[in-house]
Amino acid sequence: MRYFYDFHMHSALSPCGDNDMTPNNIVNMAILKNLDIIAVSDHNSAENVRVIMERGARKDLIVVPAMEIETAEEVHVLSLFPDLESCLSVQQQVYEHLPKIKNKEEIFGEQLVLNEEDEEVDRREGLLIVATTLSINEVFSIVNAAGGTAIPAHVDRDSHSVISNLGAIPDELPVVNIELSRNCDRDLFLEKHPELRKYGILRDSDAHYLWDISERENYIETEQPITDVKDVIELLKKPLTGITGTKVIA
């Protein structure tokens, strides 16, 4: 069975995320694009996850609780969790390690917390797009201890990636899967970085706008049916080598 996914996108909570990235719009767009599983991974926060999960559940869309955590080394780590509680417990730890800088909305954008009707119920005052004081090792331990899985995000990018910032994936870091950007040429990239072939590879959109959410293009192939978030996390704790793919869209 193939399950088409997009595990990396931003809601209106991320200052850089478009304000149209609301719970209902995201879920409806994912349904329209015929995706089976999504995760909304806002910068250092998961305040909109509960509502998006609820909206997804009504439409049989699996929504994985997530966050994109920025480490002290300014590396982005896609963090996915088996349930809302574990995600929110890690969010709390992230907040405790987030420098207290006030968001300047006119420069960075608004950070909106939304309800089931896409209405604003709060806005985060502290700037979310900053490095936490957690090292990449600490982020991996915290996420793993909570039962989640940590994935170095967009490793092909020139900034905020483990390769760009640290030169390589540290040997002691318990990396299982890595994420490539949607437009990265996977084969060419792996030719340049053969040392990364040992990891499973995911590709996500990192959408900040509705239209950028992935099409039905990246999939996980598995014999066991995926019925809920826990099944997704169990799969992602193993390297996805050989069981992921990208469908060529004409």
Nearer Cβ to Zn ion, position 50 or 208? 208
Nearer Cβ to Zn ion, position 18 or 226? 18
CA angle 32, 38, 42 (to 5 degrees): 115
Using Cβ positions, the residue closest to Zn ion within the complex turns out to be 76
Q: Which one of the spans 74-82, 93-101, 113-121, 141-149 is the region binding Zn ion (CB under 5 A)?
A: 74-82
Q: Which two tokens stand for residue 4?
A: 């088409």
Residue 179 binds Zn ion (CB under 5 A):
no
- Cβ distance 133 to 217 under 8 Å? no
Which one of 36, 83, 179, 206 is in contact with Zn ion (CB under 5 A)?
206
Kindly state the smallest distance separating residue 223's Cβ from Zn ion, in Å. 31
Which one of 18, 68, 83, 217 is in contact with Zn ion (CB under 5 A)?
68
Nearer Cβ to Zn ion, position 129 or 142? 129
Residue 76 binds Zn ion (CB under 5 A):
yes
Find, among 85, 200, 96, 93, the residue nearest to 147 by Cα: 85
List the alpha helices (DSSP H) in the chain.
23-32, 49-58, 84-96, 105-108, 136-145, 162-166, 186-192, 229-236
Q: Is the dihedral of CA 202, 157, 65, 34 positive or negative?
A: negative
Residue 42 binds Zn ion (CB under 5 A):
no
Nearer Cβ to Zn ion, position 70 or 217? 70
Nearer Cβ to Zn ion, position 76 or 97? 76
Kindly state the smallest distance separating residue 78's Cβ from Zn ion, in Å. 8
Site for Zn ion in 151-170 (CB under 5 A): 153
Contacts of 107 (CB under 8 A, 6+ apart): none
- Cβ distance 87 to 81 under 8 Å? yes
Q: Enumerate binding residues for Zn ion (CB under 5 A).
A: 68, 76, 153, 206
